[in-house]
């Protein structure tokens, strides 16, 4: 369900984040133009500064910047929500190397800035649904993962793309405990990765990505639970077989490879039918594929989503 933001949106409906306010006028003026382009089959290489992506529904207000940056699951910087903002303060994200390898024509080590230089980061306002049954609406700054994948020319054997987070217990104190098998690894099927909604993200709210949100480079897959979005990525690997992903390895009965947002398939220990939108007191209904069913359901045609959770 994609409902474009009304052009005459009231200022009160948007976040009060100061820096963001200055962008609001611009955003509103191009929002209508952006939506049609962004979703579905339309070309994705928009003009500079265009606001792309799925705008959340009318009643989806942006989650304030302070919450987006201070309520984080980033176990490399601690397992509670507040510690990533605190413990990632000195995290060094430059220079930053990303290794691209596996089933592709052009493997190599890339400097982060060189890697993302060819792409125009654009704004994509996505719903973000955590497996813990809370959600946000976040204006990411990024570019479609598919554009990067095309550049590296996957071979015909490539069926999956794997994303590995930095392993550095000196900088990432959470990695000194084996709450999860480090480093954090996430992966997508290649066709999922090529979907125009799947993003590589370098910023949020018009600013460079804060460390606690996965600087300098993270994955955002809005129709999946948040943990699929690997942060602080240092390796992108193309594989023929399904990679082992961290949460799936840690607790296979609770976290599947697909992890598509699905209100009908509960986590074994809690319901996924409803979610608490950060900033709201009462829970609201969770939407199939986090509200992106129209765009992505066809990726899973014929699959038993109860089995492939």
Task: Decide if residue 168 touches another protein (CB under 8 A).
Answer: no
Of the two residues 225 and 292, which places its CB atom closer to another protein in the complex? 225
CB of 244 to another protein, least distance (A): 17
Task: Decide if residue 134 touches another protein (CB under 8 A).
Answer: yes
Task: Decide if residue 269 touches another protein (CB under 8 A).
Answer: yes
Nearest C-alpha neighbor of 225 from the set 203, 200, 204, 254: 254
Contacts 24+ apart (CB under 8 A), 298-306: 299/189, 299/191, 299/192, 299/195, 300/258, 300/260, 305/258, 305/260, 305/262, 305/264, 305/265, 306/264, 306/265
Rounded Cα distance, 54 and 197, in Å: 8
Rounded Cα distance, 36 and 59, in Å: 19
CB of 136 to another protein, least distance (A): 8
Rounded Cα distance, 235 and 104, in Å: 13
CB of 107 to another protein, least distance (A): 33
Task: Decide if residue 70 touches another protein (CB under 8 A).
Answer: yes
Task: Decide if residue 270 touches another protein (CB under 8 A).
Answer: yes
Binding-site size for another protein (CB under 8 A) equals 27
Rounded Cα distance, 309 and 304, in Å: 8
Rounded Cα distance, 178 and 93, in Å: 23
Task: Decide if residue 238 touches another protein (CB under 8 A).
Answer: no
Among 118, 271, 298, 303, indicate the residue that binds another protein (CB under 8 A): 271
Among 132, 147, 168, 294, indicate the residue that binds another protein (CB under 8 A): 132
CB of 246 to another protein, least distance (A): 10
Task: Decide if residue 61 touches another protein (CB under 8 A).
Answer: no
CB of 179 to another protein, least distance (A): 5
Task: Decide if residue 253 touches another protein (CB under 8 A).
Answer: no
Length of the chain in terms of residues written: 309
Task: Decide if residue 16 touches another protein (CB under 8 A).
Answer: no
Task: Decide if residue 268 touches another protein (CB under 8 A).
Answer: yes
Among 90, 282, 301, 307, indicate the residue that binds another protein (CB under 8 A): 282
Task: Decide if residue 189 touches another protein (CB under 8 A).
Answer: no
x/- site string to another protein, residues 75 to 94, per CB under 8 A? Answer: x---x-xx------------
Rounded Cα distance, 136 and 30, in Å: 22
Query: Which residues have a Cβ under 8 Å from the Cβ of 223 and sit 6 or more positions away?
Result: 197, 260, 261, 289, 290, 292, 293, 295, 296
For another protein, the binding residues (CB under 8 A) are 66-67, 70-71, 75, 79, 81-82, 132, 134, 177, 179-180, 250-251, 266, 268-271, 274, 276, 278-279, 281-283
């Amino acid at each position: 369900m994609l409902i474009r933001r009304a052009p005459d949106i009231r200022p009160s409906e948007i976040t009060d984040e100061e820096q963001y306010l200055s962008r609001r006028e611009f955003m509103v003026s191009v929002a209508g133009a952006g939506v049609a382009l962004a979703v579905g089959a339309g070309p994705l290489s928009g003009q500079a500064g265009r606001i792309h992506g799925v705008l959340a529904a009318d009643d989806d207000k942006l989650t304030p910047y302070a919450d987006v940056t201070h309520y984080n699951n980033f176990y490399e910087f601690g397992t509670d929500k507040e510690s990533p903002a605190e413990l990632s303060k000195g995290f060094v994200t430059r220079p930053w190397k990303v290794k691209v390898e596996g089933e592709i024509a052009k493997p190599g080590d890339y400097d982060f800035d060189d890697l993302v230089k060819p792409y125009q980061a654009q704004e994509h306002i996505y719903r973000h649904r955590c497996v813990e049954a809370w959600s946000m609406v976040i204006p990411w700054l990024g570019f479609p993962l598919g554009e990067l994948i095309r550049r590296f020319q996957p071979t015909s054997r490539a069926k999956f793309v794997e994303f590995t987070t930095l392993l550095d217990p000196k900088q990432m104190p959470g990695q000194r405990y084996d709450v999860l098998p480090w480093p954090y690894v996430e992966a997508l099927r290649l066709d999922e990765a090529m979907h125009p909604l799947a993003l590589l993200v370098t910023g949020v709210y018009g600013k460079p990505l804060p460390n606690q949100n996965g600087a300098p480079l993270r994955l955002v897959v809005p129709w999946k639970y948040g943990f699929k979005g690997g942060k602080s990525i240092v390796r992108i690997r193309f594989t023929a077989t399904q990679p082992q992903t961290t949460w799936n390895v840690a607790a296979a009965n609770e976290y599947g490879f697909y992890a598509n947002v699905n209100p009908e398939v509960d986590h074994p220990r809690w319901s996924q039918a409803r979610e608490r939108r950060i900033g709201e007191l009462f829970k609201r209904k969770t939407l199939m594929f986090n509200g992106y069913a129209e765009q992505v359901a066809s990726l899973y045609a014929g699959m038993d989503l109860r089995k492939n959770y």
